[in-house]
Chain A
Amino acid sequence: MSKLDNPRWRTIDIVVASVIAVAFGVIFWAWGLVWSATSGAFAFFPPAQALIYGVWLMPAVVGGLVIRKPGAALYCETVAAVLSALLGSQWAGTVIPQGIVQGLGAELAFAAFRYRSFRLPTALLAGVLTGVSAAVFDFFVWNAKYDLTSYRIPYALLTVVSAAVVTGVGGYALTTALARTGALAHLPAARDRTLV
């Protein structure tokens, strides 16, 4: 565990968090097309679609791990949602509250560790919590008319699994890989880097 940094965001924290959000916003926009195009096919085996759900939740975990400041997870997920709406995502404005709800999940996990741990277990917890918040949102808002035992519950569980694996572990791996490239040199996430 490292010591708590000054919680104030520097310009670089704000801009890089925004850039991460923007990059994922663009990915969301493309992902939305994939999602729509495959939703008919996946309906025969809905678990599969839930498994790729984790991508929607990545900015929350990656943002939190890279920036390491209170609010980073929430900020990244929300800005990514706003951007995908600006780009003309078919879900438009509804992704904004959805993004806020999802971001809150991950934020809670980082807060639980008092913004001092950014290791795999934290990332995993952040993934799970953001998955839970996303699953709850979908359970009530989008999936209300589907069968409870054969669809809504498995879908929610798979969302959480996807969030743990794709978002949590994947987000952690992505952050480590980013740090290895040296791109995060001026950010808190680079602190653990071994000097060469």
Chain B
Amino acid sequence: MSGVSVRLRGFGWRHAGRRAWAVRDVDLRIEAGERVLLLGASGAGKSTLLAALAGLLPEDSGERAGDIEIDGLPPQEARDRVGMVFQHPESQLVMARSGDDVAFGLENRGVPADRIWPRVDEALARVGFPYGRDRPTAALSGGEQQRLALAGALALRPGLLLLDEPTANLDPAGAALVRRAVADAVDAHTTLVLVEHRVAEALPLVDRVVVLAAGGSVRADGPPERVFAEHGAALAADGVWVPGHPVPPRRAVAPAGEVLLTADRLGLPPRLGPTDLAVRAGEALAVLGPNGAGKSTLALLLGGLLRPGSGRATASPELADADRRTPPHRWRAPALARRIGSVFQDPEHQFVTGTVFDELALGPRRTGRPEAAVRATVDELLDRLRLERLARANPYTLSGGESRRLSVATALATAPRLLVCDEPTFGQDRRTWSELVDLFAGLRDAGHGVVTVTHDADFVDAIADRRFTLERATRSTEERP
């Protein structure tokens, strides 16, 4: 198939149940074979725009303005020319075996049976999928799922390839591999639209940058060098990650304080081997390591949420307060929420109520704070993390970055002495990212302990006082930067 051209005229979309338009007044022409990086602050409508291009916004799920043409056709009728990889990898795998999943799209398109398997093998090889076709999709790590989803899209040989943050949640090696796979797969016959917050890594893949303004319209458009030279400073101030505009680091102002939590041969076979670690007050500790090393498991153990399979976690008398004799995983939940806050890797795992406001108020209420104090805390967090206009929205309708911020905010709301966060910064634009760094730094400087599991090298550089690296072979090393 040859490259596909895209035209948008005054396009806008408003999701059902929302007052604000997700995207608005977008005029855009993308010629066949162009490679476009789509930028914009979190919530600017990038994912919505991709869904529109793929013909995946049914008429009854919102309100449309203007129109879109894919090769002169309405998107619903041009679906067979488009391949898409979504922001959420695990909910786009359809079949139980990896090979069958790649074959699924080919079957749908009516590719003759004898031509299916060669194309499956080719697509799997292109993305560097390390297992055979029979590998169960349920046994894949996040990075492997993302690669498989990409193979499923590539096997269709789409004229228009749409990728929504394809490397979020991948370790640096995995992210590099996926980028290389995209670079290899995209030839002169493929039009590419890529959404990625981290511009520097994505630039080699594209020849044009389009920036969406929050609330509508295209803010800047052109070759990357020109866009960044002309609008760099303004875009950076608006929340776009512009190369050459680094965020100043926030180092600790005082040396670390006393130990809050000690992990002593702490582990949960087979997910995590025995691990020794001490977490201090007034210190930001970064936990690093490849996909599948057991970082999230360690975070849940430190957070007092999982029962250790080996070893133990011991809280200092100061942190444990009245519960000195018991380990954190045996504490009652309200006491735990007051002392140790946890942010889960998948934000949606964390939501338990129906609105953003209730979500933030839940923790403080459960720990027995007066209603006026609860309101004040919630309002401040809504404001700092730019969620105030979403206060009445359902947490599950938020954009990728918005839901991540909300999940971090829920843990911050109880101001716990120790905060354990799993990938708190993925999918954030530059502005909310800086705000998060400031929040964490502020907590640390006020004497709280902050543990973050992360693949985000910028974040580690900006705030980490100490790094702890988990190896996949469940061996761990500790070093100081």
Direct contact of A and B (CB under 8 A): yes
User: Using a CB–CB distance below 8 Å, which chain A residues touch chain B?
Assistant: 180-183, 185-186, 195-196
* One of B17, B58, B60, B396 near A196 (C-beta < 8 A): B17
Residue among A181, A183, A186, A196 with most chain B CB within 10 A: A196
Chain A hits for B392, CB < 8 A:
196
B17 in contact with A180 (CB, 8 Å): no
Residue among A180, A182, A186, A195 with most chain B CB within 10 A: A182
Q: Nearest chain-A residue to B58 (Cβ)?
A: A186
Q: Which 9 A-B pairs have the closest CB atoms?
A: A182-B394, A186-B61, A195-B17, A181-B354, A196-B392, A182-B396, A182-B397, A185-B16, A196-B17
Chain A hits for B394, CB < 8 A:
181-182
Chain A hits for B16, CB < 8 A:
185, 195
Within 8 A of A (CB), among B342-388: 354
* One of A180, A185, A195 near B61 (C-beta < 8 A): A185
Chain B hits for A195, CB < 8 A:
16-17
7 additional A-B pairs beyond A181-B396, A182-B394, A182-B397, beta carbons within 8 Å, are: A182-B354, A182-B396, A185-B16, A186-B58, A195-B16, A196-B17, A196-B392
Interface of A is mostly: loop
Distance in angstroms between the alpha carbons of A196 and B394 in the assembled complex = 10
Chain A hits for B397, CB < 8 A:
182, 185
Distance in angstroms between the alpha carbons of A195 and B392 in the assembled complex = 12
Residue among A180, A181, A185, A195 with most chain B CB within 10 A: A185
Shortest distance from the beta carbon of B300 to any chain A beta carbon, whole Å: 23
Distance in angstroms between the alpha carbons of A177 and B124 in the assembled complex = 42
Per-residue CB contact flags for chain B residues 46-66 toward chain A (1 = under 8 Å, else 0) read: 000000000000101100000
The tally of CB-CB contacts under 8 A between chains A and B is 21
In the complex, 6 of the A-B residue pairs with CB atoms within 8 angstroms, ordered by the A residue number, are: A180-B354, A181-B396, A182-B17, A182-B354, A182-B397, A196-B392
Distance in angstroms between the alpha carbons of A185 and B17 in the assembled complex = 9
B396 in contact with A183 (CB, 8 Å): yes
Chain B hits for A196, CB < 8 A:
17, 392
Shortest distance from the beta carbon of A12 to any chain B beta carbon, whole Å: 8
Distance in angstroms between the alpha carbons of A186 and B58 in the assembled complex = 9
Distance in angstroms between the alpha carbons of A181 and B393 in the assembled complex = 11
Distance in angstroms between the alpha carbons of A196 and B58 in the assembled complex = 21
Interface of B is mostly: loop
Q: Nearest chain-A residue to B394 (Cβ)?
A: A182
Q: Nearest chain-B residue to A195 (Cβ)?
A: B17
Chain A hits for B60, CB < 8 A:
186
Chain A hits for B58, CB < 8 A:
186
Chain B hits for A182, CB < 8 A:
17, 354, 394, 396-397
Shortest distance from the beta carbon of A191 to any chain B beta carbon, whole Å: 9
Within 8 A of A (CB), among B4-62: 16-17, 58, 60-61
Distance in angstroms between the alpha carbons of A180 and B16 in the assembled complex = 14
Shortest distance from the beta carbon of B356 to any chain A beta carbon, whole Å: 12
Chain B hits for A186, CB < 8 A:
58, 60-61
Distance in angstroms between the alpha carbons of A195 and B61 in the assembled complex = 13
Q: Nearest chain-B residue to A185 (Cβ)?
A: B16
Distance in angstroms between the alpha carbons of A186 and B396 in the assembled complex = 13
Shortest distance from the beta carbon of A5 to any chain B beta carbon, whole Å: 10
Q: Nearest chain-B residue to A183 (Cβ)?
A: B396
Within 8 A of A (CB), among B261-299: none
Within 8 A of A (CB), among B91-146: none
Distance in angstroms between the alpha carbons of A185 and B15 in the assembled complex = 10
Distance in angstroms between the alpha carbons of A183 and B354 in the assembled complex = 10
Distance in angstroms between the alpha carbons of A181 and B396 in the assembled complex = 9
Q: Nearest chain-A residue to B353 (Cβ)?
A: A181
Within 8 A of A (CB), among B457-481: none
Q: Nearest chain-B residue to A191 (Cβ)?
A: B60
Q: Nearest chain-B residue to A196 (Cβ)?
A: B392
Distance in angstroms between the alpha carbons of A195 and B16 in the assembled complex = 9
Chain A hits for B17, CB < 8 A:
182, 185, 195-196
Shortest distance from the beta carbon of A119 to any chain B beta carbon, whole Å: 21
Shortest distance from the beta carbon of B310 to any chain A beta carbon, whole Å: 29
Shortest distance from the beta carbon of B401 to any chain A beta carbon, whole Å: 19
Q: Nearest chain-B residue to A186 (Cβ)?
A: B61
Distance in angstroms between the alpha carbons of A181 and B348 in the assembled complex = 13
Q: Nearest chain-A residue to B94 (Cβ)?
A: A15
Shortest distance from the beta carbon of B471 to any chain A beta carbon, whole Å: 36
Q: Nearest chain-A residue to B15 (Cβ)?
A: A185
Chain B hits for A183, CB < 8 A:
396
Distance in angstroms between the alpha carbons of A195 and B394 in the assembled complex = 12
Q: Nearest chain-B residue to A188 (Cβ)?
A: B60
Distance in angstroms between the alpha carbons of A182 and B396 in the assembled complex = 8
Chain A hits for B61, CB < 8 A:
185-186
Chain A hits for B354, CB < 8 A:
180-182
Distance in angstroms between the alpha carbons of A182 and B15 in the assembled complex = 13
Q: Nearest chain-A residue to B397 (Cβ)?
A: A182
Shortest distance from the beta carbon of A131 to any chain B beta carbon, whole Å: 32
Shortest distance from the beta carbon of B138 to any chain A beta carbon, whole Å: 14
Distance in angstroms between the alpha carbons of A185 and B57 in the assembled complex = 13
Chain B hits for A181, CB < 8 A:
354, 394, 396
Distance in angstroms between the alpha carbons of A166 and B397 in the assembled complex = 31
Residue among B58, B392, B394 with most chain A CB within 10 A: B394
Chain B hits for A180, CB < 8 A:
354
